[in-house]
Every structure is written in C-alpha cells, then in structure tokens.
Amino acid sequence: MSDFDILFQVRSEKIDGLIERLSKLKPAVFKAIVDNTAEHVAVAMEQHAVIYPEARPESDYRRTGRLGASVTSEVRREGEYTYAVAGTNVLYAIWVVGPANPPEGEKGQAWMHKGVWVPLDESVNAHLAEYEDIIISDLEAAVKAFLP
C-alpha cells in the first residue's frame, strides 16, 4: 500500500470480552465482523492522518495538498491478527510527518518540520479513544445481531 505506515493496538477488557463472545460464531462470519470493524477504524485513521499547519507568513510556497490526498487506509491480516493501517506512498512524507523521535538508525521527521507538522503517529495516537469507541460500538452491534 505505502512506503510509510502507522500501526497501533487498541486492547481493553471490554473489547476482549466482545471478541471472546463473537469468536463462537462461524469463522467466516467472525472474520467478516472483525474486518468490517477494522475497516471503520482504518477510515477514521485516514481522516486524522495529516494535519496541515498554518502556512508560514514569510513563505510564498503554495501547498499542493498532495501529502494529505495521498493517505490511504487498508485492513491487513497476519495470522490471527487483523490490523487497520493508514499510510502514504509519497516519498517525502517520512521527513514531513514521520516520527519526531525515530528509533536509532531509522528515518523520521526532519528538523525543519518539527513543531510545525504533527507526526502521523502522534496524530493517529491522539484519537485512540475514538478508535476504541468505534471498535466497541461495532462489536456490540454484532453481538446484538448475531448472538442470543
């Protein structure tokens, strides 16, 4: 999908309990519920991904909107795990909205963008409670629709 992705994990006793109940359904139904829920979260992540800062008054650079428009989302499955992923394939994104403090030896936000552009991981992580609410709402609806 992209050259620069954001992954996160949302876990809670409530989510684990709902997953436990729903896991008793036929595997294809359970997978569809989980994938649908992950898709809802992925779309929300995509909407929160790139936050454009105010243009600098001394700059005559005109933004193209390419970075924000390039953000896409998808659902990935790896073994028993399902991930909601948002990312971009714009090559310069890592230097603009990459991690402010990347692990040693990895690329991240360039010094001139720090404090101006919100890193993608910070933007997405600021909405974890919202993603948890989406997950719980979707799973509760599935419990009501599929379980006695």
pLDDT tens for residues 11-41?
Answer: 899 999 999 999 999 999 999 999 999 999 9
pTM of the model: 0.85
Q: What is the pLDDT of residue 3?
A: 63
CB 6 within 8 A of CB 93: no
CA dist list (Å): 122 to 9, 36, 38, 73: 14, 25, 20, 17
Report pLDDT for 1: 53
**pLDDT confidence tier of residue 2, bands split at 50, 70 and 90:** low
Which of these ranges, 4-13, 79-88, 101-110, has the smallest mean pLDDT? 4-13
What is the separation of C-alpha 55 from the centre of its chain, rounded to a whole number of angstroms? 25
